[in-house]
Chain A
Amino acid sequence: MLHIKCPHCGLRSQIEFAYGGDATVKRPELNKEISDQEWDNFVYLRKSPRGKHLELWHHISGCRQWIKVERDTLTHEIFNTMKADEELK
């Protein structure tokens, strides 16, 4: 069982959260000409690293806020959690 420290609620067990995927992908900017390749990068292409991975989780059975979690995809160690609009330091 993962234990995720929600920046709003504190340490909670994994079953309160839903996974939201890679947090490093950025939607192309609005009001700008966007190439097919840029959409491809955003919608489909993923690094999926073995090791540190910055990802979104949704505290769906808690405060219902989206958060960012920096987690190791091999050991499941969690290094950092932050609010969704915060950047990794």
Chain B
Amino acid sequence: MQKYSVFSLIKNAFSDHENWEVAWKDPTPKKEYDVVIIGGGGHGLATAYYLAKEHKITNVAVIEKGWIGGGNVGRNTTIIRSNYMHDENGLFSEFGMNLWRNMSQELNFNVMFSPRGIINLAHSDAQMNVYSRRGNSMRLNGIDAVLLGREEVKKLIPMADFSENVRFPIFGGLMQPSAGTARHDGVAWGYARQADSMGVDIIQHCEVTGFDVTNGIIKGVKTSKGNIKAKKIGLCVAGSTNLLAEMLNMTLPIETHLLQACVSEPIKPILDHVVTFGAGHFYCSQSDKGEMVMGGDLDGYNSYAQRGNLPTLQHVLTEGIAMMPFLSKLKMLRTWGGIMDMSMDGSPIIDKTHIKGLYLNCGWCYGGFKATPASGWTFAHTIAQDRVHELNSAYSLNRFSTGHLIDEKGLGTKTWIS
């Protein structure tokens, strides 16, 4: 594989950049693989990469019905954080933070990881108490957290509305300075390129139409490009999880919902951090191109549409304007939607299933992007070793029937209520 560097850039400039190697091949599927990963998004590609790198399993295919990076890994608001209160989520995400920090070097692909810090705003004394508790829990797990007072927040984001007579005055906030953003497409491409170089077949435009399960053991997968035999199969299909589960006669604690995001026209640098509104559901950061990247609530009803509805967008942006009034002056550049695998406690599932050789990675709700490396790493371990790793042992499929839920937000089963 050709190494990307300033020297290769200069060298290729002499041939008008026409002689770059392809970043990944476009193979036709083989008859049989050791492992087939369904879903060529961030999690699927990361899983394939870690299978090859950590477990030396390279007879692997990633099959994707669209094109890699066309699903949620290219539709999120690129936020990376580990500011969770529960141990299971905190330790898992912090493990991921360490992978993020070294990702550009490891993948030889600039994913533009920018640890600019995330600030969750608080709008009441009670909320400050809750954030103080969450911050202490984070610090006990070795995650950085700083409780900010009103004046400290004002220094960091002076453009927010600090007037006294607003409905939700800013009391302070909780900051995780090491959180940040990354270029989401770069993450998918970086993992794809490295996985490909180690022998993984990335097969695009290949839709799953069924499975071959004999005596409770997975034998292969039927696709639009023919039948593919596999000893092990991993599902990484986010919002399409229920569709594949139906083919396997499985019913899962997952509902598919729609989440929208949008960007404004580009403006000069104004916002240095990721900021979230504490009295509703709105989050915002500024991209390197200058666009304000914004997101918020789910549309709130089951949806596979991959495009949103205006009332939700209006509601979300109303919150944004309440937080930072200058946003009302901006023109909207783009809006889009992605479909989320909303689990019944808001936490993911990375586990084996009752079918031998079939592994499940789903339930990421609207927090899957930041989990990409940790999810891929632990899922690769679970597939390769046929047992869960300590980091994902709490993300079990049967926790719903045993009562070991990880209800980070305390929303109960209706995780689509915001």
Which residues of A are at the interface with B, using a C-beta cutoff of 8 A?
1-2, 14-15, 19, 21-22, 36-37, 39-41, 43-50, 53, 55, 71, 73-76
Contact = CB atoms under 8 A, between A and B. Distances in A.
B254 A46 contact: yes
Nearest to A18: B300
B416 A36 contact: no
A63 to B, nearest CB: 19
Given A44-B400, A47-B246, A21 B305 contact: no
Contacts of A46: 242, 251-255, 344
A37 B300 CA distance: 27
Interface of B: 242-243, 246, 251-256, 300-305, 309-311, 344, 400-401, 413-414, 416
B310 A1 contact: yes
A42 to B, nearest CB: 10
Nearest to A2: B309
A44 B413 CA distance: 7
A50 B302 CA distance: 9
B311 A45 contact: no
B283 to A, nearest CB: 22
Contacts of B251: 41, 45-47
Given A46-B252, A75-B305, A76-B303, 20 more contacts: A1-B310, A2-B309, A19-B301, A22-B255, A22-B302, A36-B401, A39-B401, A44-B401, A44-B413, A45-B400, A46-B242, A46-B344, A47-B251, A48-B256, A48-B302, A50-B242, A50-B243, A55-B301, A73-B304, A74-B303
A41 B19 CA distance: 57
Nearest to B307: A76
A73 B413 contact: no
Q: Which of B254, B302, B414 has the most CB of A within 10 A?
A: B302
Nearest to B258: A73
Contact of B304 (A1, A14, A22, A50): A50
A44 B252 CA distance: 8
Contacts of B242: 46-50
* Closest 4 pairs (CB-CB, A-B): A44-B253, A48-B242, A44-B400, A40-B401
Contacts of B243: 50
B contact patch SS: mixed
B302 A73 contact: yes
Contacts of A44: 253, 344, 400-401, 413
B69 to A, nearest CB: 22
Query: Which residue among A2, A15, A48 has the maximum number of chain B CB atoms within 10 Å of its CB?
Result: A48
B66 to A, nearest CB: 15
A45 to B, nearest CB: 4
A55 B413 CA distance: 15
A44 B254 CA distance: 8
Contacts of A75: 305
5 contacts: A45-B251, A46-B252, A55-B302, A71-B301, A74-B304
Most buried by B among A1, A36, A71, A73: A73
A36 B246 CA distance: 22
Nearest to A14: B311
B382 to A, nearest CB: 22
A2 B301 CA distance: 11
Contacts of B311: 1, 14-15
A40 to B, nearest CB: 4
Contacts of B344: 43-44, 46
Contacts of B416: 19
A48 B253 CA distance: 9
A2 B303 CA distance: 12
Nearest to B314: A15
B401 to A, nearest CB: 4
B18 to A, nearest CB: 42
A22 B344 CA distance: 13
